[in-house]
A and B are shown apart, each in its own frame.
Chain A
């Protein structure tokens, strides 16, 4: 029966082609939008797993607003169950041109805290920062690619006064001493510099953006997070779990928006299949009547018509994946040269796309097939 299905499909080449194109466009959208969403989920997962053991301590007022004195780190460290606590200063690498998704970030960190901050992340070249390094930096893999930097090269960091909104206060070149391996986390877009240098450069005195608290072995991070909040004044803590939940919430919204846009596109593709099949079924009314007169059973007719729509779905899916995959590949390639990657076409996404397009084909063919199958052979044969 498969050969007859294929014959019917290839008989009306233009119509079949347009229908498949409709589905392909939908699946194209699923791949591109889904790829974006998958990438963010992956980055989030990797970033979380890199810092999953640490509690974040923020000034009470908010994330960016209030000042957090470095001395607070010592207070946090004194809380029972805290193994270590240290401040980080975070700023945008180029405050004038904020990237699409936050862009690259400068992170000021005490050189001796590198192993704790980066866990087992390795360097592809050079060395980590050491005590006494001034205007030196270790950069993430995406930053290295974006600016085409190697150890020994210089990278310019700009700072912006918080009072004046548009002008650059000053800029300064930092020497790259090391490049981090690819982690798939936000560290790829980081420029790590010594905390003291950062505080001086950004004119932040003794303040930091947030403090990371490392719990003792065997200490529950959730409990400890609450204890820190009780013991240290004017701070707010984010346990790894809270952080995960918060990011997940914003990711869910993002995923919903991207996926629903893609699904909408795919459903429109599905409607085009239904339209084509309805047209094709009504054109072949007589043919189906004849088949029934020849002894075809309802399931034969259902199989034939739904087979046609399913094949169009599968083909649409394949072309959509190829098209979407190609676009994602070239976009990633282009974006990588600018220091970021936006899409991940995961095996999961591929499976979802092909299953979705096939189901779309089958479901869209359901009603036309039903109409074809329930036709009375008598009426169908009389139909002109």
Chain B
């Protein structure tokens, strides 16, 4: 069940909210947990079992680690067991729909478990934080289950920390202001996903349909740039929907998306589009390997790439990005002398080049696409770049604007004056528009893990 589907919006959401509203606040964690099970079971009944296994590992592991906190060896072993269980679930059952899971050929034999990329990371972070003494283990299973399988985040994230929601999880309250904000944020995310991201996906598909062997260098660059923009909107759309849904339930999640255009460094550009994943990678991969900078960075890059998809193209993409970030760190001083505009352009170019390897879909096509960007098809006579730019200008111009921090600055300055009064009209307009798109074209949720 995807947050961007007609069934979720018109059937699952109202039913879930009705059940949630009539339950007493201290029982709502159990309702969220049940919702998580339903989302996972929607793809396959075995998916619900995997979520239960992951939650049980977190719950049992958390209590045991807590009980053996004085005996670091035993608690470390328990943490390792918890990580191994979740790691296996992640590697075998988690995959995005974007590219074939060719990294771990064995995983193709298994079904795709919805939410496995998210709840495994929740489970690991919960045990690791207890191990580090960040908080004590929770004894109510429903609360741990609700955190691990936090229903709004199961599609694509953001990745949460237990202490981010634990206070609310005790007895979540539905508040009219949060409910109204949540509805608007959910619909905004939905429109980002199905109106903008899917339009960019259609454009990218048209560009890709020309074939990596035939495409000219300018069109190949355009294809990679469009892929990058689509990738950002796909993530941002799901994150906003998740945050909006969580707000409806009474949870205020922290901001989980920073527009990438305008960054002076590739690192901040990439971490900005998925800060919750970056923080997770830093806390649970880089920090434990402190003092070993290169292995830590490589491990984080590989894990980050695998999170988006267990395919070779994502692996190459993440390693390329890590290499550029390492170069950036080395050249920090000289780069600092460059004009800001030039630095932004360099970051965009680097991001597009890295994205080139993903633009082809499969690994082989991706490599060819990357080659095409650097003129491997010198005899190509196709000249559609201008055509695409001209035709899709009504999508590309607002998309580029939305990828900059400008809209956010605008809404933070003027939004408070206009949005509350116009909210019912905006909700109505977005609902009509989103419904028409959901009903009229097949839903593409490539990064619904």
Chain A partners chain B: no
Interface residues in chain B, defined as those with a beta carbon under 8 Å from any beta carbon in chain A: none
